[in-house]
Structure 1
């Protein structure tokens, strides 16, 4: 059993309240001798709830209300966070209500969603919050009953003392517990005693989502608010002149506002604004380099050959290793810009009133939204409030606050509350894309097929560091050089689900298959050979846990029946990202001469799985996302404007193109690690390697369907 020390109740409140694990929780526990309590609405529960401390409130109805601080965008954090708290409280999950907390930097730390870091960051904080609350409630019961606290038990929200036959719900002890000193030591449960964590729990918003209740930013409406839509300048351009006469003449349009390099049309609903925006006559002039996709191909070639690089890692004597190599393998891989394509386009509400500002909408970084508004308005950040709605996807796009900026600028200009809404065309052309990147790999093999040298050079457009220099196979090769080149493009970029690794994993894992082939070794055996060297004779710094990676490799090979069926052509891939490990096997079967992708087997080690239902969905969603963007999706530019403006030309994966997905999880004994992103990176590599096994065609660029090596392959996808 884990022991946590605390100096005082005041210290506990401060610590719990300044973390993402700090939660407002309303609890009411009913006596097993009492009649069944009345089930009240959430509003009634909140109205009756008595504050327990800054994070706990107790209602006499028997309902538990948990305020979840981190934005929910489909990663299931709004369900899994409360599960952790309720577990340590020994709550009755059937009595739990969950409410999205607004931004409060005094109570919560890391109140954001990004990097698959919410659960790893908050795991212990959440447990401490629940365990400490339970401790003081038990102490209060012991005092009131005049019995030893060690003889008291808590189960499903009931505090009981077997010796005296006394029992009661938490609400009976709130007043006394609020006066108790916090414990010097608080014990967390042994994981073997968990009753809620590790069980499949339905998404707490599921009923509201299914029945169309207003949860998302697009659902938000306030009487008297105005609507706005924005025309943004092409990349590298600035506004020279505006003719807004035709736009202003549209019925329902009340104003046209210019701010910075954008023009907004304002009115009483979005439909007339969509029409008016198309009638704006805006003349632009170049502000910086105006780029087209043809320019990018040239830039990649020049920088790959002569670009000034930053060395990220260098082990051994790379020059000597390649000079004495028996065989050298080299290849280049390239990926395009991509939009994030959340189901819900960007939108936000702002109401500027003098030195105050109210913000409401979907954001992954609510404090960034607040700080942005404060900076624009020149007011203290504490004068800006942020209410977080549920997000209809984000994938990194809503880490930015550009659409929040627009709402603030417009509200200030028209002196009224306004909601900015982006169309799908706005979302695809509005910037903040996944960076385009190109990689060159080189491997040196000795006479035994052993990789003695490895070089990676990455060139990215607004990508920063295009590598993950401490990830596998670093540490497994004696002589290694990893370097990166960054090109400052006028096209804005942003973190895209599993930043950098979303393509790097595909490129690395495909290249390792090329090296294994030249070495005359089975791809899985080749990876295990490298991992064995990293474990027993590591070189330099290891940024990954070798045993955990070996575990998913071996388990995936077993669960995927690697090499067992000669009629099935298989591809393998394994990757570590966001503290978790995922290995995948893709199966292709030749049917009537056509290669058919039948199945993807995925094995994940993300530590303890809090909610198997949510975890399964995260892995499946990551695989579908990774597959769709590797195979089908591309974003190209002409004169600073994306050529793909909607889903008729920006190709996403379709439901019928999703193969069977078989998921497995390894409980390695670790606390939970990231899960929102790690299943995506390995997918492209597993599929590409399977296509090579089936057709002999190596796919080195994405999307696959646009490569000449793929042009005459009629790959089908079928569920078993």
Structure 2
């Protein structure tokens, strides 16, 4: 399977050179996939396709099948999963399928973004419908050629068969005639039991390019004649540019220009090294945006968090009478949990190419939200968004950072000032100090038990930096507790915070699930049975809305308990966690054993219900990657601020998990026929609690704050 990067114009040129063949366009903007309007076009007519057709399946006379894919590839495997869905319904020969990356086209595509683990969930039925429609047209064409009923024909690997007469014909041979047939308005989709490609292990379509170093990432992009730029940004949040002396920098070899931006200074030149060395020669003065306000620091946030947790916040959900429940409780359990800011730290630092011309603007690079990049650039330059084109490259990581567009806007601003094509590149230090961080948060939990150790009351108060709501008030155990109160506070700051992989839940899940374990222990109940009892209450006698599927949450809980032999080996200390996020359910059991007198995290079992698994090998890697990412940041992740500046500027200070610290990870999937849901993020949130709960069983020490390595009694402390 081959993949290439091309523009839509190039794609149409290729189409026009194909002799005959079937081109099937389908409308990605249709909300009801069952009413999906489809039109068959021959190659000669493709360039004149109706404007409401904006993505195309092609079947060439040579049998090559192509899908023009709109979603950004950030490592989640969507360029593999999308064509797998189409190819399965089409009964294609997988070896003859390829996918082309689409540029931004808001008239033809819907939701051209990579975020929230929603790409496949959003496109699942549309892709199936398109593949099944093309298959039916090919079958009808073959049946007419043979003068037999279409119902007697079957398909396999891009070939139509009529077994009764022992005849067969390839899709490529049928494609031109099929293009002339009317498009069926109703087609039958396969049942999951009929899938032949979906659910199988398939290598990522970009594997060869990745392993052989082909230029497929944004940082690889090069255009003959382009310039390179690096920007000197404020060294701390809350500062603005006061003055700049660029004389020494301008005299450096390879420098072509130095321009002042809205809040920074860009050094432009012939190569990255030249502009990096010249930037070091800049003499820049900065001043406070608010002269009377101190620059924010981690210590200052901590003080505000503690103060606000003692004050009622904005109520997010209230069920029953929490005050009465706590007043009558036989026992009350309280705990607080806190997490620091985190940098996204993708392997590929921020970069983007821009060419601002009188007739339009061209943008090329790694972005999770190409439409945002286009609109923000258009606003900056005062031009119509339609004059801005965005071509997407593969991303070397994003984790939410590339949902923003500041780096694209920066490139466009520099290009507009120097009147030339420019590529802006950030260093790792730029990325760490000028990023948009996972917001620091603090939570207070309270639980009320009656005399029979039943959970009768539950309170959660959250506070975070630039987080309007630091809770997920409708997540479990909401609905399973008769009296519940959840509220929150927001601390405003000039420090930029943003979505970080599995926003909010990346830490909240740890706090919630660690607290529920502590409550289960106080009630004298097994942690898993304690949750199963709550699930039963949410089903039989729910309080308020239950916005998660209890049966699915229970299913992953029972699956991971079975696979991990929960509680059956006294020498293995186990910790449990279960969480619902991004429409998927993940339960985990972490295992700690004693080695040389020390507790060692040996294994993590992870069970997921994400509906139909499309690319099994891809799903497996998403699960394992999420677990390892969640573990590493729970153990070591920390970014602190002093006087508005990050104290960790590179990986020597921003500690990541190391390969020898990664435990064995076993993954299991609940097999069902539900539509696919998210998987890029859901495996991360439950990990911290499963590990912390297991470590408590092994050491008797509960972990309340992250990173774990900084907590007293932590077995990872010496590794920080």
TM-score, reference length from structure 2 = 0.92
Shift of 1:48: 14
Q: 3-state SS of the aligned residue for 2:686?
A: helix
Aligned partners of 1:584 and 1:686 also within 8 Å: yes
Note if 1:396 corresponds to 2:400.
yes
Residues 201-212 of structure 1 mapped to structure 2, 5 A cutoff = 201-212=202-213
Q: CA offsets, 1:523-543, max 9 Å, x none?
A: 111111111111111111111
- The answer on whether the counterparts of 1:411 and 1:418 sit within 8 Å (CA) in structure 2 is yes
> In the alignment, which residue of structure 1 is the partner of 2:381?
377
2:689 maps to what in 1? 685
Q: Deviations over 1:509-553 (max 9, x none)?
A: 000111111111111111111111111111111111101111111
State yes or no: 1:266 paired with 2:268. yes
Which of 221, 238, 241 is the equivalent residue of 2:240? 238
> CA RMSD of the aligned region, Å?
2.4
SS of residue in 2 equivalent to 1:332: strand
Question: Counterpart in 1 of 2:416?
Answer: 412
Alpha carbons of 1:629 and 1:48: their partners in 2 closer, same or farther (altered >3 Å)?
farther
Query: For 1:629-673, what per-residue CA distance to the aligned partner results, in whole angstroms no more than 9, with x for missing partners?
Result: 000010001111100000000101111110111111111331111
Inter-CA distance 47–386: structure 2 relative to 1 (3 Å threshold): farther
In the alignment, is the contact (CA less than 8 A) between 1:462 and 1:493 conserved in 2?
Answer: yes
In 2, the alpha carbon distance for the partners of 1:544 and 1:18 equals 27
Paired residue secondary structure (1:506): helix
Alignment of 1:548 with 2:549, yes or no, is: no
Q: Distance in 2 between matches of 1:98 and 1:119?
A: 15
Decide which moves more: 165-174 or 452-461. 165-174
Please list the CA deviations of residues 319-338 of structure 1 after superposition, one character each: whole Å capped at 9, or x if unmatched.
10000000000011000110
1:517 aligns with 2:545: no
* Mapped partners of 2:28, 2:184: distance in 1: 14
Distance 2:287 2:490 in 1: 26
Whether 2:429 is the aligned partner of 1:444: answer no
Q: Which residue of 2 aligns with 1:37?
A: none
Q: Residue 683 of structure 1: CA displacement?
A: 0.3
| Residue deviations 1:291-349 (CA, integer Å, cap 9, x gap) | 0111111111122123x621110000001000000000001100011011111111111
**Counterpart Cα distance in 2 of 1:705 and 1:16:** 47
Matched, 1:197 2:209: no
1:292 aligned residue: 297
- State the shift of 1:20 in Å: 13
Partner of residue 275 from structure 1, selected from 274, 277, 283? 277
User: Distance in 1 between the 2:360 and 2:466 partners?
Assistant: 35
What is the aligned counterpart of 1:619 among 623, 637, 642? 623
Counterpart residue number, 2:306: 301
Are positions 1:132 and 2:133 aligned together?
A: yes
The reply to whether residue 580 of structure 1 matches residue 592 of structure 2 is: no
Q: Distance in 2 between matches of 1:285 and 1:596?
A: 49
Q: How far does residue 144 in structure 1 lie from its aligned partner after superposition? A: 3.5
The CA distance in 2 between the partners of 1:537 and 1:113, in whole Å, is 38
**2:19 is equivalent to residue 15 of structure 1:** no
Judged with a 3 Å threshold, the aligned counterparts in structure 2 of structure 1 residues 683 and 712 are, in CA distance, closer, same or farther, namely closer
Structure 1 Cα separation of the partners of residues 711 and 72 of structure 2? 38
Count of residues in Structure 1 that have an aligned counterpart in Structure 2 = 687
1:31 matched to which residue of 2?
none
Kindly state the Cα deviation for residue 24 of structure 1 after the two structures are TM-superposed.
Answer: 13
1:249 aligns to 2:261 (yes or no) = no
C-alpha distance in structure 2 between counterparts of 1:315 and 1:396, whole Å: 33
Tell me which residue corresponds to 1:168.
169
**Further displaced range: 661-670 or 84-93:** 661-670
Aligned to 1:648: 652
2:641 to 634, 637, 641: 637
User: Residues 17, 310 of structure 1: CA spacing in aligned structure 2 closer, same or farther, 3 A cutoff?
Assistant: closer
> For 1:303 and 1:165, how far apart are their aligned partners in 2?
78
Deviation for aligned residue 1:232: 1.4
TM-score by length of 1: 0.92
Taking the TM superposition and a 5 Å limit, the aligned residue runs for 1:557-572 are: 557-572=561-576
Structure 1 stretches of 5 or more lacking a match? 1-11, 29-45
Specify the SS of the correspondent of 1:125.
helix
Distance (whole Å) between structure 1 residues aligned to residue 205 and residue 223 of structure 2: 25
For residue 110 of structure 1, what is the aligned residue in structure 2? 111
Contact kept in structure 2, 1:27 and 1:58, CA below 8 Å: no
Cα distance, 1:448 vs structure 2 = 1.1
Does structure 1 conserve the Cα–Cα contact (< 8 Å) formed by 2:66 and 2:99? yes
- Please give the secondary structure, in 2, of the residue aligned with 1:334: strand
1:567-617 superposed Cα distances (whole Å, 9 cap, x missing partner):
111111110000111111111111221011100011111111111100100
Task: State the 1:715 CA deviation.
Answer: 8.6
Alpha-carbon displacement from aligned partner over 1:441-474 (angstroms, at most 9, x marks no partner) = 0000001111100000000101221111111000
Question: For the residues of structure 2 that align with 1:616 and 1:258, how far apart are their CA atoms?
Answer: 47
Deviations 1:658-714 (A, max 9, x none): 011111111133111110000000000011111111111111110011123427866
Tell me which moved more, 394-403 or 232-241. 232-241
* Residues 630, 685 of structure 2: 8 Å contact kept: yes
2:40, 2:215 → 1: CA distance? 23
CA separation of 1:691 and 1:47: change in aligned 2, threshold 3 A: farther
Query: Do residues 661 (structure 1) and 680 (structure 2) align?
Result: no
Q: State the Cα distance separating 1:283 from its structure 2 match.
A: 1.2
The answer to whether the Cα contact below 8 Å between 1:25 and 1:55 also exists between their aligned partners in 2 is: no
Instruction: Find the residue that maps to 2:284 and give its secondary structure.
Output: strand
Tell me if the contact between 1:23 and 1:55 (Cα under 8 Å) persists in the aligned partners.
no
SS of 1:379 mapped into structure 2: coil
Q: Matched residues in 2 for 1:421 and 1:20: separation?
A: 42
Give the Cα–Cα distance (whole angstroms) in 2 for the partners of residues 51 and 93 of structure 1. Answer: 29
SS of the aligned residue for 2:430 comes to: helix
How far apart in 2 are the matches of 1:24 and 1:284? 58
Q: Does 1:149 align with 2:123?
A: no
Query: 2 CA distance for matches of 1:168 and 1:50?
Result: 28
Structure 1 residues 86, 23: closer, same or farther in 2, change over 3 A?
Answer: farther
Q: What are the Cα deviations for residues 249-274 of structure 1, in whole angstroms up to 9, with x where unaligned?
A: 22111111111112111111111222
Question: Unmatched 5+ residue regions in structure 2?
Answer: 1-23
Query: SS where residue 257 of structure 1 aligns?
Result: strand
Greater Cα shift, 446-455 or 48-57: 48-57
Partner in structure 2 of residue 4 of structure 1: none
Give the equivalent residue in structure 1 for 2:425: 421
**Structure 2 contact 447–459 (Cα < 8 Å) conserved:** yes
Distance 1:415 1:429 in 2: 29
